[in-house]
Structure 1
């Protein structure tokens, strides 16, 4: 996953790791839990190694992304606009509990509050899925 100095934001969630992992890799979910993501244009709904697409920021700007790190069912990282961005990790803490971590590049400590908000939203979606 991302190298170098990193900041970490993490949260324990009362849901199976597989449920949270699915939220993290489903591009249709990103706008629901990611405060900085308005929309996603991707050739696949579920991301995987090397996938490329575009993400629309909250400010309306479209930026290219590429999945650059991949550990199946556990972690992924990406570049956005050609710049290394957050890493995403899920660790099972038991059958119905996991820890989700965002690895934030050292140059972006200002992004920590955004990641905290995303973790709250992921927890809400994992523990109270929307109907349908």
Structure 2
């Protein structure tokens, strides 16, 4: 297993960036690899499950494991066949900016080839998450 942490900063207000995470129907708007999300609820919460439909016909099943709305953090498990990734997300105000802005962090735990292969796409998506 490998762990990789990615970060991004942008001009989107922290509440805007969090709402983009909190509502699975918004994921395709900032995550270019996602075409559609079918989820059991309209907002992430522990126990919410679903399927992310990605480019190239790839579909991955997921389960949300934990959500802390006040801290703007959440954790989920994603499965593609026998492969499993655990992803921990956080959105915070960007302390390096005088005005509105947000920072996000993603910790990915999983098999080395999958984590390393997913990192460039995740990095692009995170940048879009925190952009106006």
| TM beyond 0.5 | yes
Match of 2:102 among 90, 98, 104: 98
Q: How far apart, CA to CA, are the structure 2 residues paired with 1:67 and 1:37?
A: 17
Partner of 1:86: 87
Which residues in structure 2 correspond to 1:102-113 (within 5 Å)?
102-105=106-109, 107=112, 108-113=115-120
Does structure 1 conserve the Cα–Cα contact (< 8 Å) formed by 2:25 and 2:37? yes
Match of 2:126 among 108, 119, 126: 119
Q: Which runs of no fewer than 5 residues in structure 1 stay unpaired? A: 128-132
Does structure 2 conserve the Cα–Cα contact (< 8 Å) formed by 1:38 and 1:60? no
Normalised TM-score (structure 2): 0.78
Q: CA-atom RMSD, angstroms?
A: 2.1
Q: Secondary structure at the match of 1:28?
A: helix
Cα distance change on mapping 1:60 and 1:15 into 2, 3 Å: same
Partner of 1:19: 16
Does structure 1 conserve the Cα–Cα contact (< 8 Å) formed by 2:34 and 2:53? yes
4+ residue stretches of structure 1 with deviation over 3 A? Answer: none
Q: How far apart, CA to CA, are the structure 2 residues paired with 1:123 and 1:99?
A: 7
Does structure 2 conserve the Cα–Cα contact (< 8 Å) formed by 1:14 and 1:97? yes
Q: How far apart, CA to CA, are the structure 1 residues paired with 2:65 and 2:124?
A: 24
Match of 1:28 among 25, 44, 48: 25
Q: How far apart, CA to CA, are the structure 1 residues paired with 2:94 and 2:52?
A: 31
Q: Secondary structure at the match of 2:45?
A: coil
